[in-house]
Each structure stands twice: as structure tokens, then as C-alpha cells.
Amino acid sequence: MAHWLVVRPIRLGCALVLASVILMSALGPVLSPHGTTEIDSGNTFAPPSTKHFMGTDELGRDIFTRVMAGGLLSLTISLSVLTLTVIVGVLVGAAAGYYGGWADLVLMRVTEVFLTFPSLVLAMAIAASFGPSLTNTILALSIAWWSSYARLLRARMLEVREEQFIEAARAIGMSPRRVLFRHALPSCLGPILVRVTNDLGAVILFSTTLGFLGLGPQPPSCEWGLMVSTGARYLAFAPWYAVAPGLAIFATVLAFAILGDELHESYRQTAQRV
């Protein structure tokens, strides 16, 4: 891993950005002298200063503390969504690719129904139907996202099930379920891990979009999209309100995207050498 980061400086830079975001999100709200909901009505819309690094909002709350807390919330949403989508997508794709036949036909037709709709549009429709909340944001994004993992895993499983070690496992009398989970499935997880790295930033971007539209966590939440949406109302005289969470979204999503692309390229080159 250390060697992979040193090969290209851009990888190390992205890793440092993400490490900073994770550390500040986890430790910042705890170490900050200001609370995320601490109201100071006499210090509203204060510009950035040594006391308030990113200024204050319409209630006098410290924006820097809220941005750090929002980072933890965004990372939690992203990891929760990808955990659910990977579990569902891998199980559906593995069953369809390994067993084939009617299982493949039925599961892939259901998957294609979800793939028909753009992920963001589908997530917006589901979130609007369920109602705005943190739990519903995670469910909406998970429902909209799992199908791509199912299709990716199925494609890989179709290749792996024809390998000689799978044929050998069948020849010695292993049950289909044991062959699937003990031998075939572990050989398919490489592309999934690469895809997860790519999607971490995309899920954060989609979740902040739902928050910006009012379909995500509600006030007094520190969710980045909600903060940008609220701050946009005061952009003329308090630009730091919207700019601070906006920069956090930009840096985090860009770092995940670049790091994911670098990891995908490294995986592709390794696969070609093998």
C-alpha cells in the first residue's frame, strides 16, 4: 500500500486530503470549543476570524465546527449506503452469474428495471416518497445504487465460474453453495473494491444533492448539502456560509474520484500483467 501511494504524487496528495477530512470529521467536533448547536445571537454572520475560522451562521453557530460534524455525517451516509448496496448487489449478481438459467433471467430483469432510471432521479423520487430524514436518505440511495454492483458482479462471476479451480472444486464433490461462497465469490471481489472506492465520492455528492433539495436530513443537522442550501440565501453578504461546506464537498469528492481512478488504473495494469 505504501509503495502504491509513492508511485505517483497525486495518490499521496489525495490520500492526505482524505485522511485530513476523516480526522477532522471524527475529532474536530469533539475538540472544538464551540458546539454544533451552540447559539450566539449576538454574533450572527460574523466573518472568518481567529475565533471563528469559517465565520458564523444566522444563529451565531460556528460554521467550521458544523462543517467538521457534517463531514462525519456525509462519510457515515456514504459508508452505510455502500455497505447495503454491496451486500445486496453482490448476492444478486453472484447468484445470477453462478447459477444461470431462470435465476439469471429473473434477477437480471429486475436489475435492469432499476438500471433504467438515472440513480439520482430515482433516489430523489424515493426520498420524496419516504419523507426527508437521514434514514430515508440512506435507503433511497441504497435502492437506487445496488443494481450496478449486481451487474458488475454477474459479469465477473460468468468468467470465474469457468476457471479450472472452480471445475476442480465441483469435481471433488463440493456443494454448489460452498463452491460459490468459498471459492468463486472471493475471486470476484477485486473489481467490487475498486468500484467502492470510486463510488464513495459519488454517494457523498448525491447525498448532499438530496440535502440541498431538502430531501435529506433536516435542521438543525450539519449535513453539507443542507448547509449550502441555507447559506445560499445569504450569499450576498455572508458568502462564507455557503462557500465553506461547498469547498468541503468539492475537496472530498474530488479526492475520492481521483484516488478511485488511480486505483482502477493500477488494478487494470495488474490484471493485464497476470
* Domains and their CATH numbers in the chain: 54-273 (1.10.3720.10)
Output the pLDDT for position 217.
92
CA quadruple 154, 156, 159, 165: dihedral sign = negative
Check the CA dihedral 160-161-164-170 and report its sign.
positive
Q: Is the CB of residue 55 less than 8 Å from the CB of residue 45?
A: yes
Q: Say how many CA atoms lie within 13 Å of 8 toward its Cβ.
A: 10
Return the half-sphere exposure (C-beta side, CA atoms, 13 A cut-off) of residue 156: 25
CA distances from 146 to 23, 38, 77, 87, 122 (A): 29, 38, 15, 8, 12
**Residues 257, 231: Cα–Cα separation, whole Å:** 26
Instruction: List per-residue pLDDT tens for the chain, 274 residues long.
Output: 445 455 567 777 878 888 888 898 888 888 888 888 889 888 999 999 988 999 999 999 999 999 999 999 999 999 999 999 999 999 999 999 988 889 899 999 999 999 999 999 999 999 999 999 999 999 999 999 999 999 999 998 988 888 888 888 888 888 878 888 888 888 888 888 888 888 999 999 999 999 999 999 998 889 999 999 999 999 999 999 999 999 999 999 998 888 877 777 776 666 555 5
pLDDT tens digits along 117-148: 999 999 999 999 999 999 999 999 999 999 99
Paired strand residues for 56: 62
pLDDT in tens, 251-274: 999 988 888 777 777 766 665 555
Q: Give the largest CA-CA distance in the chain.
A: 77
State residue 163's pLDDT score. Answer: 83
C-alpha cell at 109: 430483469
If DSSP codes are grouped into helix, strand and coil, which group holds residue 3? helix
Alpha helices in 117-239 (DSSP H): 119-130, 134-160, 164-171, 176-179, 189-212, 224-231
